[in-house]
Structure 1
Amino acid sequence: MIDNQTSAPSVTVTLESGPAGAGSIDDFELFYSRRAVDRFRTLLGREGLLDLLAADIEAGNAFLRESALTSGGRFKAGTTVLATKGLTSAEFLAWMDKAFAGDEQPLLAAHPEHYAMGTDEIGARVVENIGPHVASFYMGGWGTDALDWAKDAAELLPESEFPRKMSSNLFLTDGTVIGRALIQFGDTTGGFTASLTVYFPVACPDEVLDHHLRHYAVEFRNWIVAAAA
């Protein structure tokens, strides 16, 4: 398993010349990484990928279920805040509504650890990493009307500044609530601010929460860029 932590290398390497066009070595690596991930997703197909991850999903869901049961309904929260210029929140959310209603490819492309996103007989299903754990869960109560828990959340921002809000429980097929999400958008001059809060059971290690805050930053940045394009 790849280490869950990231750190800067002790050696610095600078690209002086060679490739045509702009971009750093990190940019090149990101491009090739995305291309490789897309190739494997395409070759395996949705069901092939889920079959390949079946054991990981079983283990990940078991970890989250145990964390939820141990926590007794108590959650800890973290928030990622993104500032966008050149796009309004209404334009972005319109793109998101269209993306979730259509093919899952634009949703999967936003993060290397997105494995499936779609709707089945239970509801809106997501298969992705939660920290180091691959999990398959559902989002329930997603919409503009906050769930009861969200109405009293300490992270709830003033409606006058963040009028567009979405909240959801994250739950397993047996109904166990393994997390929550509270997403809030407020327009600014020339753009918008996104406040992205996730909640995990208090028994989960802090690194699980921290890595999902990074996950939020990656996926929403890429969704916003795709919406603008």
Structure 2
Amino acid sequence: MASKGLEAITTGGPVRVGAQTDDVNVDDAGIDQWELKASRRALANLRTLLYGQPMIDLLQAQIDEADSKLTQYLAESDGKYTGTRVVLTVEGLKIEQFIPVLRSILGAAAADDDEGRRKASIDFLFPTHPEHYSLPIKGVGVIETMGGIPTRSFPAFAPPEEVPDFVSALIDKSYDISMTGKAGLEDGTIFTYVLQEYKDTLAGMEVSLRIWYPAACPPEYVKEHSEHYAVEFRNGCRMAAAALPPAPVPQIR
């Protein structure tokens, strides 16, 4: 889906650029940060303006393509799945501090009223990843990129007995919290499974995130989602840290 210009910018090549303003002097990495800041502003603006049906209408052809491809991959996979895992090492944040923000992110899709869904989406769900496009008009779900295509899925946590053995067998009892889940297409066809686990560490917490797709899916599905997880949960951790009360200032006596 990337244009040639975008591919060239992303690759970078042999060119190195520095910039000096009245305030700062930055290298390529500093310009990257300016670009990232501007990209986030642009995305926030577009997702707010296109919230709801306008975004669905804009993406509908791609959503239909994703449904068709995943249905095909499921049929071709003959019940076999392939998965990936990303382990996040978090410093400065414990499980009990992170979980409320996780609930807020997940709660965006489950809010009872339209304005509540809109506010929770804009405040929590959308900022965690640039490829969180929208919520479905009906049902608890999300439209996000999978395999390079905006895909509408309806994820839900499920007890271990409701997921395949290849998922539940990997539950690690050394983690304080383990959650299994699955996600389906709009017609209810289940196409992916997850295992998310959390444990506190001396410095903060460790998070293990696994996801499985039908084995016939191109490798991009699992590779992209490991990256997706890392971005999504890193940003969720930053939200959680920002919500913490300020640390008390030591008193000098």
Task: Report % sequence identity.
Answer: 29
The match for 1:167 among 169, 180, 194 is 180
Question: Could you report, residue by residue, the CA deviation over 1:179-217 in whole angstroms, capped at 9, with x for unpaired residues?
Answer: 111111111112001111110000001122101111111
Does 1:156 find its partner at 2:170?
yes
Q: Equivalents in 2 of 1:40, 1:180: separation in Å?
A: 30
CA RMSD of superposed structures (Å)? 2.5
Q: Equivalents in 2 of 1:181, 1:47: separation in Å?
A: 28
Q: Equivalents in 2 of 1:35, 1:137: separation in Å?
A: 26
Output the TM-score relative to the length of structure 1: 0.88
3-state SS of paired residue (1:73): coil
The match for 2:51 among 37, 45, 63 is 45
Does the aligned pair in 1 maintain the 2:172–2:178 contact within 8 Å? no
Which residue pairs with 2:130 in the alignment?
112
Paired residue type of 1:72 = D
Does 1:213 find its partner at 2:233?
no
Structure (1 or 2) with the larger CA radius of gyration: 2
Output the TM-score relative to the length of structure 2: 0.80
Q: Which protein is richer in helix relative to its size?
A: 2
The unaligned stretches of length 5 or more in structure 1 are none
Q: Equivalents in 2 of 1:163, 1:133: separation in Å?
A: 34
Question: Could you report, residue by residue, the CA deviation over 1:151-185 in whole angstroms, capped at 9, with x for unpaired residues?
Answer: 653772422x2121111111112221111111111
> How many residues matched?
224
Which residue pairs with 2:2 in the alignment?
2
Paired residue type of 2:78 = G
Does the aligned pair in 2 maintain the 1:155–1:197 contact within 8 Å? no
Greater shift, 111-120 or 42-51, is seen at: 111-120
Larger RCO: 1 or 2 (CA < 8 Å, sep 6+): 1
The unaligned stretches of length 5 or more in structure 2 are 109-119, 243-253
Q: Equivalents in 2 of 1:96, 1:119: separation in Å?
A: 22
Does the aligned pair in 2 maintain the 1:82–1:217 contact within 8 Å? yes
Cα distance, 1:68 vs structure 2: 1.1
Which residue pairs with 1:73 in the alignment?
79
